[in-house]
Amino acid sequence: MRTIVVANGELGDAAILRARLAGWPEARVIAADGGSTNCLELGLQPEITVGDLDSLDPSIRSELEAGGANLLSSPARKDQIDLELALLHAREIGANRVVVLGALGGRLDMTLANVLLLTHPRLSELDLQLWHGDQTAWILRPPGGDVNGEAGDLLSLIPLGGDVPRVLTHGLEYPLRNETLSFGPARGVSNMLTGRTARVELRAGLLLAVHTPVNPSHIGGV
């Protein structure tokens, strides 16, 4: 089941996101608290809004309730951020492919926390991506995977949680041949696709993959 989860951060280029979402007409929509405002900007009607609801403007709340949204309120004092609650709820209702919008911008700590939710152990079985305008981020786990796009597209590979040894790539301008991407140095940033498909292989660890198309009309990813 495809599910769109919308957070309260910046969307990037909203027009590009609306075009990308045209391929998800039957997806369920979950808002993380104030992400409901972003939903309305994108022309989405959330069926569920999750969180402590402290960022929800009263007029937006009334609009959501009029549209039939279910508001799932949680305590303000809690161990999870609102986006985490929304993603866990998506998993609970049977989502298997999830795209997250509005996860970046504003507070640096929240941006980092939102991106690192891609590594959440309870979400590891989901096909989980973060979209910001035309950019796509996801986690590559062993054995790796393909990246689809166009020649000249940027692909960054950033180790998370430690070094990632024996990385092998195909179809990238700067190939890796069973080499280590070390945690900390930025060696894996701003590589480029040489054709429409690249492949990244790894035997251990986690890589944050970020795909940025050279031409936004040809948006690829995994």
Task: Say what the pLDDT of residue 185 is.
Answer: 95
pLDDT of residue 157: 98
State the amino acid at position 153 in one-letter form: D
What integer is the mean pLDDT of 211-219?
80
The pTM of this model reads 0.89
Please compute the mean of the pLDDT values over residues 23-49 and round it to a whole number.
90
DSSP state at residue 83? H
Nearest to 20 by CA among 111, 153, 135: 135
Domain boundaries defined on the chain: 2-133, 139-212
- CATH number given to 2-133: 3.40.50.10240
Pair 148, 221: CB distance under 8 Å: yes
Query: Between 69 and 128, where is the model more confident?
Result: 128
How far are the Cα atoms of 27, 34, 60, 154, 209 from residue 40, in angstroms, in the given order?
15, 11, 9, 30, 29
Choice among 118-127, 175-184, 212-221 with the minimum mean pLDDT: 212-221
* Fold category of 139-212 in CATH: Jelly Rolls (2.60.120)
Which tokens belong to 11?
């969307």
pLDDT in tens, 182-193: 999 999 999 999
- How confident is the model over 51-78, as a mean pLDDT? 69
Pairing of β 164-170 and β 177-181: antiparallel
Q: How confident is residue 215, by pLDDT bands cut at 50, 70 and 90?
A: confident
Say which residue, 83 or 70, is predicted with more confidence. Answer: 83
- Of 64-73, 75-84, 143-152, 155-164, least confident by mean pLDDT is 64-73
Model pLDDT, residue 222: 57
> Per-residue pLDDT tens for 151-191?
999 999 999 999 999 999 999 999 999 999 999 999 999 99
